[in-house]
Amino acid sequence: MVFPNSLILTLGGLVAGILAGFLGIGGGTVLVPLMVALGYTPLQAVATSSLAIAIASISGSIQNWRMGYFDSQRVIYLGLPALFTAQIGVYLTSKFASYQLLTAFGLLLLTNIYLVDLKKHLIHLTNREPIQWINPVIARVCTGGAAGILAGLFSVGGGVIMVTMQVFLLGEPIKVAIQTSLGVIILTAISACLGHTLSNNVLFIEGTLLGIGGSLGVQVSTRILPKLPDNTVSLIFRLTLGLLSIYVFWQAWQVLHNNPLD
């Protein structure tokens, strides 16, 4: 089945890679629906997208490192707690119906938009960055831990969560937050991919095609990102979150309408 869909998979990976480099998100929100639409099972789609996301995030982070925009300490402080706390989120998923999780995720996306706007508003009122009242290392560990829980709970790489938390709680410029998030996704995606591989859920040919497209896309966007004004990046980030929230609410409605008990 992969050969007739090879071009579609590669192009889908390309789009996901562009989003990963621009916004610091893994791309699962694009890849999973694409694979399901092509006839793969949701489990195969989630598992295979983790391989593609790992390939693309490694490619993008190598490029960020070559350009001097990769901070390994930031990545470790956020990534290691996320690896552990993600399991808490995975456990919590069994406690809620699918439509409840989707609705909550949609609300989280909208909250992220508000928090980014709130920080900009606070800076405008005080003419300075908000004061950090907590040690930066502790703040990063807590941010990574919280992002891990939410990532496990909502079955996403955590990028949309980590970017906003870094901007609002840590006072990071949005482009730095995006570049750090992309590095953290290497850890979370590899962890997820290994787990799915042990369960024989990963389709390696499809995942490689998606990863090739993602690597090309992320090379383009990581080069362009540093050249864009912060306000432009912030606007693109918030618009994308708004569009994703509409899509997620629509998914929740579909699940509730077709399978109210799921």
Which of 124-128, 143-147, 230-234 shows the lowest mean pLDDT across its residues?
Answer: 124-128
> How much is the mean pLDDT over the chain?
80
Does residue 215 carry a pLDDT above 60?
A: yes
Of 70, 73, 79, nearest to 176 by C-alpha is: 70
- Name which residue leads in pLDDT, 230 or 126: 230
Total domain count, the chain: 1
In a domain, 233, yes or no: yes
In a domain, 151, yes or no: yes
d(C-alpha 81, C-alpha 196), whole Å: 20
**Predicted confidence band of residue 126 (pLDDT cuts 50, 70, 90):** very low
**Predicted confidence band of residue 120 (pLDDT cuts 50, 70, 90):** low
Q: Could you give the percent of the chain with pLDDT greater than 70?
A: 85
pTM: 0.77
* Residue owning tokens 């995606």: 189
Return all residues near 117 (Cβ < 8 A) that are at least 6 apart. 238
Of 109, 59, 38, nearest to 219 by C-alpha is: 59
16-62 pLDDT, tens digit each: 888 888 877 767 777 877 887 888 887 788 788 888 888 998 999 99
Does residue 161 carry a pLDDT above 70?
A: yes
How large is the average pLDDT for residues 63-79? 89
In a domain, 21, yes or no: yes
Of 7, 33, 30, nearest to 19 by C-alpha is: 30
Does residue 134 carry a pLDDT above 80?
A: no
Range of the domain at 205: 6-258
- Name which residue leads in pLDDT, 41 or 81: 81
Does residue 195 carry a pLDDT above 90?
A: no
How large is the average pLDDT for residues 225-248? 84
Taking a C-beta distance cutoff of 8 angstroms, is the pair 214, 13 a contact? yes
How large is the average pLDDT for residues 84-101? 77
Does residue 122 carry a pLDDT above 80?
A: no
pLDDT of amino acid 61: 92
Does residue 123 carry a pLDDT above 60?
A: no
In a domain, 219, yes or no: yes
pLDDT of amino acid 209: 93
In a domain, 1, yes or no: no
φ, ψ (nearest 5 deg) of residue 109: -60, -45
Taking a C-beta distance cutoff of 8 angstroms, is the pair 21, 220 a contact? yes
Does residue 162 carry a pLDDT above 90?
A: no
**Predicted confidence band of residue 14 (pLDDT cuts 50, 70, 90):** very high
**Predicted confidence band of residue 216 (pLDDT cuts 50, 70, 90):** very high
Does residue 99 carry a pLDDT above 60?
A: yes
Does residue 115 carry a pLDDT above 50?
A: yes
In a domain, 72, yes or no: yes
Q: What is the DSSP letter of 24?
A: -
